[in-house]
Amino acid sequence: MTMSAAKTFYVTTPIYYVNDKPHIGHAYTTLACDVLARFKRLDGYDVKFLTGTDEHGQKVEKSAETFGMTPQALADMNSANFRDLAVRMNTSNDDFIRTTEPRHVAAVQALWTKLVEAGDIYLGHYEGWYSVRDEAFYGEDELKSGPNGTKLAPTGAPVEWVKEPSYFFRLSAWQDRLLAFYDANPDCIAPQSRRNEVISFVKGGLQDLSVSRTSFKWGVPVPGDDAHVMYVWLDALTNYITAAGYPDLGGEYAKYWPADLHMVGKDILRFHAVYWPAFLMAADLQPPKRVFAHGWWTNEGQKISKSLGNVIDPIQLIERYGLDQVRYFLLREVPFGNDGDFSHRAMVTRMNSELANDYGNLAQRALSMIGKNCGNTVPQHGELSEDDREMLDAAHGLLAKVRDAMDRQMFHEALETIWVVIRAANGYVDRQAPWALRKTDPARMGTVLWVLAETIRNLALMTQPFMPDASARLLDLVAVPEERRNFTFCGSHHALKPGTALPVPQGVFPRFVDEEGAA
């Protein structure tokens, strides 16, 4: 028998600016990627999951000045904060890239040289609007008016007039090839509404892009012209190939590139879906297979901003509600792709009704009955009734449905699919009333409890990517060994063996009780 090479899956988060500390938005994007990476690993893929920090540019340089630090010191400090957050969130990234690393500087300079050789970079003069906060150039027609006759970027960020020598990337020459690329790859930008926005932007005509700056120093020097540092977005986007070993086109690059998915917020879709594929195609490299732009979080209905003082610290959330609870909430609360609002009330409702009541109680009821009545072993089962079979079919059929939702990054749908089965299992317990069977028909009670334990096994396998710790505890409670927790063990062929010893059951999803004692 020959082994075929494992299917690969390369997923990336944006690399985050180190001008400030991480907040809930950063945690959200990284979490979504983590859940996908975990899902794909359990589903048999060889996964590469990349996150990291974007450390160059004027925004970081200015921020460092305000803090009275060197840009490198600020980058070191905040990059470490992002790295710590990834650890606190139980993120399973395989690499963490920093754009100040030598491997990255070498990769960006190699890409630049390729673009020059291809004739896609030329020296000129930039004169126009720039927003340091967005690290983006804007046309006059895109600006809106701010207070006291000032001009603002469409994002509301301040803009300044920039006039300096600059290298340009011939983006205008790529319009037709980009449109042809979108056309040939219907899934390359998601959701559909965002895809339409990108296509109409490109159809509106593209201007050449300024890709170097001379008015500050904190960046990767342009090869052969030290007066220029590269535009931070050309620098930053390249991280995705740096981490795959570029400019070496063998090894990891050959294995993982093009990336299967760049996950980004809607604010930075244009950079990923227009500039990045154009840079790559110009360098004769393949564009990413898919870019997904998710929505924006607000806090209790308000835009999250430093000036409003309502920035949500993900570490505080985890400390208050629990890690797996926060992981669950963020991906369940909002249809992925839409904007969402964080509120204490919504968080507590999901935590208590869906985790503690639906999932937690199901496990607690079934496992404590097994503990008491079956001597802490997986019960024997007799012939299965139609209700039993329906219950098991629903549990065993989960993988195919959840996989389909995950392949579209519809996390909320994947969770709802799992919860349909959890609710069905609670209905099954109520109907079968195993506590009553204990006296009248103990054999039948054993069958019902076995069906429930087997259902819980399958549910816990499926919730692993979302809630790794809680799911591991559930799998411990039904005595599933470590090596039988990947998705090849979903389904009836690997059902729980009667007679297997089980540990003493314990609650896995506590209820949230307010400081005042109200739940």
Q: Which residues bind to ligand ME8, rule: CB under 6 A?
A: 14-17, 25-26, 28-29, 54, 236-237, 239, 264-265, 267-268, 296-297, 304
CB half-sphere exposure, 199, CA atoms < 13 A: 18
Alpha-carbon distance of 443 to 204, in angstroms, equals 71
- SS3 state of residue 476: helix
Give dist(CA 241, CA 285) in Å, integer.
10
Beta carbon nearer to ligand ME8, 115 or 264: 264
Q: Rounded CA gap, 61 and 75, in Å?
A: 10
Chain CA centroid to CA 176, Å: 31
Can you list the positions of beta strands (E) in 135-265? 136-138, 144-145, 151-152, 160-169, 189-190, 209-210, 212-213, 221-222, 225-230, 261-265
Residue positions counted in the chain: 519
Whole-number minimum distance, CB 219 to ligand ME8, in Å? 13
CB atoms closer than 10 angstroms to residue 113: 16
* Residue 163 backbone dihedrals phi, psi, to 5 degrees: -145, 110
Determine the distance from the C-alpha atom of residue 142 to the mean position of all C-alpha atoms in its chain, rounded to a whole number: 30
Token pair of 99 as six digits: 């754009």
Beta pairing class for 261-265 and 151-152: unpaired
How near is the Cβ of 269 to ligand ME8 at its closest, in Å? 8
Given a contact cutoff of 8 angstroms between Cβ atoms, the answer to whether 367 and 453 are in contact is: yes
CB 437 → ligand ME8: shortest distance, Å? 49
The amino acid sitting at 491 is G
Shortest distance in whole angstroms from residue 419 CB to ligand ME8: 24
Q: Do residues 471 and 359 lie in contact, with contact meaning Cβ atoms separated by under 8 Å?
A: no
Q: How far apart are the first and last CA of the chain?
A: 57
**Least CB distance from residue 265 to ligand ME8, whole Å?**
3
241/496 with CB nearer ligand ME8: 241
Q: Which two tokens stand for residue 516?
A: 């005042």
| Opening angle at CA 419, ends 484 and 467, nearest 5 | 50
Rounded to a whole number of angstroms, the minimum distance from the CB of residue 153 to ligand ME8 is: 14
User: Residue 10 or 16: which CB sits closer to ligand ME8?
Assistant: 16
- Cβ–Cβ under 8 Å, residues 171 and 278: yes
Residue with Cβ nearer ligand ME8 (264 or 461): 264
| Residues contacting 337, CB < 8 A, separation 6+ | 190, 191, 194, 292, 293, 294, 295, 409
> Least separation, in Å, of the C-beta of 18 and ligand ME8?
8
Question: CB-wise, 296 or 489, nearer to ligand ME8?
Answer: 296
Rounded Cα gap, residues 420 and 401, in angstroms: 12
* DSSP summary character for residue 73: H
Comparison of 14 and 446: residue with beta carbon closer to ligand ME8: 14
Q: Which is nearer to ligand ME8, 231 or 512 (CB)?
A: 231
Nearest distance from C-beta of residue 204 to ligand ME8, angstroms: 23
The two tokens of residue 244 are 């795959």
What is the DSSP secondary-structure string of 188-249? SEESHHHHHHHHHHHHT----EE-EESS---SPEETTEEEEEE-HHHHHHTHHHHTTTTT--
CB of 157 to ligand ME8, least distance (A): 11
Structure tokens at 232: 């931070």
DSSP class per residue in 389-404: HHHHHHHHTHHHHHHH
Rounded to a whole number of angstroms, the minimum distance from the CB of residue 14 to ligand ME8 is: 4
- In angstroms, give the least distance from the CB of 177 to ligand ME8: 21
Least distance to ligand ME8, CB of residue 225, Å? 23
For ligand ME8, the closer CB: 341 or 441: 341
Nearer to ligand ME8, 208 or 235 (CB): 235
Q: How far apart are CA 377 and CA 497, in angstroms?
A: 9
For β-strands 95-98 and 151-152, DSSP reports them as unpaired
Nearer to ligand ME8 among residue 150 and residue 305 (C-beta): 305
Nearer to ligand ME8, 82 or 126 (CB): 82
The smaller minimum CB distance to ligand ME8, of residues 67 and 296, is found at: 296
The side-by-side arrangement of strands in the sheet containing 221-222 is: 212-213, 225-230, 221-222
Which CB, 237 or 496, lies closer to ligand ME8?
237
Indicate the residue whose CB is closest to ligand ME8: 25
User: Nearest approach, Cβ of 235 to ligand ME8 (angstroms)?
Assistant: 9
